[in-house]
Structure 1
Amino acid sequence: MDCRHGRALFARIWDTSVLMVLDPVSGHQRLVSSPYIHPVSFNAAPVSFSAAVLCAAQGCDHHGCQGGHFRLAVVTTNDVQEVTSGWLYSSETRVWSELTSVHHPNVRFTNLAAPSVLVGDALYFNLDGIIQCQLGTLCLSMLEKPIDGNGTLMATQDGLLGFAAVVDAAYLTLWSREAGPKGAMGWAKLRIIDLEALLPVGAMSLTLEFRRRVHALVISSIAEGTQIIFVIARAGSYMVDLESGRVRPVSSPYMSFYIPAMEAACAGQEQ
């Protein structure tokens, strides 16, 4: 469901009663009872469920905080009640916060485990609209997307909330949420990248009109904390480096973990 600060978060599909926090380096697992249990009845209202994990230490550089305290955030959206709800968990107190809700009009069921992005002291979830969750106050608010349709949240190089989407079947378009001339927050278009010009010849060997209909090029994921975006084309998956503009094929996107202390220990053994 989520991966951040040296920890990975898991839940069973359609069974959100228990969340598992995993330290991939040590293999240590921590099971946490979820504040929300997805109904198993077919008559139950569809609910979008997402969760995030992050380090709880103040001022941590996250280079080696495995084993320390962590926080969990859970966000659900009920499309019948038109309500989005949120909870925060602290591994130090082992207690979930009180339920916080916000009215979410015209919400539609999206998916399980919608990805989140951490920007400043807020988590953002892409659940049929953007849900902002302030970690200090657990205040939930709704943000409009810069464009209708599919897209992915990201953090910009300047540390602002960003959004990426494929427009007109081939153009990777990036936005940043920033203050306008009068101080009002809004979306500003940052960059347009012609992916067809970067991808190998034949990677998008479909007519433009057909690509528009079948969404032949989609964003599969973004590596948080980097300027790396993964896209899926007809010929396979590709990694796009937004800084260099380079593109290379990949078999499957994944996140690895690096601890400087382990490198130093290995170097000492080699001497």
Structure 2
Amino acid sequence: MLPSSAAAVLEDGDLVSEILLRLPPQPSSLPRASAVCKSLRTVASDPGFSRRFRIHHSRNRPLLGFFMGAGDELRFEPTLDPPNRVPQGRFQFPIDASDRSFMLLGCRHGFLLMLRTFQETEELLVWDPFNGHEHRLAIPPGFAEKTFHGAVLRAAPGVGDTDHFQVVLVSTDVQQGVVACVYSSETGEWGNLIATPLPSGGVIHPNKPAVLVGDSLYMLLIRLEAPARIIEFDVGRQSLAVIPLPASLDSEHSRFYSVMRADGGGLGMVSLSASGGSAQLWKRKTSFEGVDSWMLARTVELDKLISHSLKSQCCLHITGLAEENNVVFLWSGFGVFMVQLDSLQFKRLPLTTMHRWHPFESVYAAGI
């Protein structure tokens, strides 16, 4: 039996919600707390509190797993251990896995973005896996019959309704260079076409998801007989820019590097050595004179984490990046290795032949 003072606290719904709000955002946190007594269960299961909990932890969302889709296969692969493990069957996919006319473009802030051909017409599908909500969008005129890449993101916490989202499409055009367009679920419309010149042409890399750093999205641009580049789209300012890679990177082998968030914030890159024994973390710096350049921030010795026998004779290459948790996924012939670049914690995941991985970082309370 609880002491009278503790019972009095649990009768105060406002105080209980403040206590629960400070639990870690792991899937088992709220279900475990709600099992203590009816008062805690009432608050934890309230939709309004769930919304507050999600917003409160919007900057430290756990990595629940990743979505994969290619050919005739679409699935969710969890990465957490019990009791926080989200079951594979938790999500009812909005399209049949046998439908070969779809491609995953990105996953962020609890949304998935897909490109789908439906009745001979291409459309975009934004899907919320937890509540099953689907939003079908027509492709804006400037992107019809073009190769483009896209990203989805939720409105910033504390600014309007966080259920609103934006979709950003980026492509290249012979006449206009790099072009972008933004859809807002709040207005239900696409904005104006945004463009910036691009000497020597190029296309957005189809297998490298966009990375969100601050208020900007970054995508890799590959070009024939010319160094690769990074496309920066500032979501707030609605502006485009083209950024070079670190000079030492081999732009022809993009599977060995990826854009990421740098240590301490800002734009960064992660690249693998030729042997796969180490990873170099780069950071974009601006000098006092306003000159931008790349610097090598640190090196991670992968050989100390992944044994040679596990790496096999297949080269490691980057198959995914969880931007909020600073986790890189490395594929080899023996499996997929998940490396947290801050703590250097290492985990081996099941081997898969699919190379389009979309990490799912979100706040989720299971079983309430």
Whether 2:186 is the aligned partner of 1:92: answer yes
Match of 1:184 among 288, 291, 316: 291
Map 1:12-161 onto structure 2 (within 5 A): 12=116, 17-35=122-140, 36-39=142-145, 48-57=147-156, 59=158, 65=162, 68-78=163-173, 80-81=174-175, 83-109=177-203, 111-112=205-206, 114-128=208-222, 129-146=229-246, 147-149=249-251, 150=254, 151-161=257-267
Identity between Structure 1 and Structure 2 (%) = 30
Whether 2:337 is the aligned partner of 1:238: answer yes
Distance (whole Å) between structure 1 residues aligned to residue 139 and residue 149 of structure 2: 11
Which of 1 and 2 has higher RCO (CA within 8 Å, sep 6+)?
2
Q: Structure 1's 113 and 93: CA in aligned 2 closer, same or farther, altered over 3 A?
A: farther
- In terms of fraction of residues, the more helix-rich structure is 2
Whether 2:106 is the aligned partner of 1:2: answer yes
- In terms of fraction of residues, the more strand-rich structure is 1
> Offset of 1:109 from its aligned partner?
3.7
> Offset of 1:74 from its aligned partner?
0.4
Larger radius of gyration: 2
> Offset of 1:112 from its aligned partner?
2.7
Task: State the TM-score, normalizing by the size of structure 1.
Answer: 0.79
Q: Structure 1's 77 and 200: CA in aligned 2 closer, same or farther, altered over 3 A?
A: same
Distance (whole Å) between structure 2 residues aligned to residue 233 and residue 133 of structure 1: 32
Q: How many residues align?
A: 244
Task: State the TM-score, normalizing by the size of structure 2.
Answer: 0.60
Instruction: Report the equivalent of 1:11.
Output: 115
CA RMSD of aligned residues (A): 2.8
Three-state SS of the structure 2 residue aligned to 1:202 is helix
User: Are the equivalent residues in 1 in contact too, given 2:107–2:360 (CA < 8 A)?
Assistant: no
Q: Structure 1's 160 and 111: CA in aligned 2 closer, same or farther, altered over 3 A?
A: closer
Distance (whole Å) between structure 2 residues aligned to residue 259 and residue 114 of structure 1: 24
Which residue type is aligned with residue 287 of structure 2? G
Which residue type is aligned with residue 167 of structure 1? S
Instruction: Report the equivalent of 1:197.
Output: 304
Query: What are the ranges of 5 or more consecutive residues in structure 2 without an aligned counterpart?
Result: 1-104, 223-228
